[in-house]
Amino acid sequence: MYSKLLLSFGLVFIFAFGTSQAFASKPINAINSDDNGVAIHGYDTVAYFTKGKPVKGKKKYSYKWKGAKWYFSSKKHKQLFIKNPTKYAPQYGGYCAYAVSFGGPADVDPYSWKIYKGKLYLNLNRNIYNKWEMDVDGYIEKANDEWPDIAKYNIEDEEETEE
């Protein structure tokens, strides 16, 4: 109940004061990553497409792209990603699709996901995912409009590297 109230307050705040004031003006990383620079909590982004479910990646199959370390569950998945990272990388840098549609980044739960029109979208949790599901096209349209203003990278473009 408390989390619903907090989310409702946050959304009211956004609408009342505008997205630019509702979220910190501090730049964000290009890719949603943890303190160790690991993208999407270490889950294999390719597995969503090939296995149809979240699968934890392994450090031994890692690849650095857009300043983040991506873990994969197999060498094959790593190679698929290297060949076409934009095909497999989640939209909005792996930030919550619903939150981005309201003008700000939020972390994700790797189990709150959907492949829609060939693209991977992640959300904060199942409750948020269920709200996002009520108007997927509308939220994607809003997020696509908001993302360029949100994506103010605080990292320099780094070379892609195998680790």
Report how many domains make up the chain: 2
Q: What is the pLDDT of residue 136?
A: 98
Distance in angstroms (rounded) separating the CA atoms of residues 34 and 21: 25
Regarding whether 99 and 119 lie in a shared domain, the answer is: yes
Query: Domain range for residue 136?
Result: 90-155
Q: What is the pLDDT of residue 64?
A: 97
Regarding whether 99 and 53 lie in a shared domain, the answer is: no
Q: What is the pLDDT of residue 163?
A: 65
Q: Is the dihedral of CA 128, 139, 42, 44 positive or negative?
A: positive
10-residue averages of pLDDT along the chain (163 residues): 46 42 63 96 98 98 96 98 98 97 96 98 98 98 94 55 68
Residue 105: CB atoms within 10 Å: 21
Q: What is the pLDDT of residue 158?
A: 53
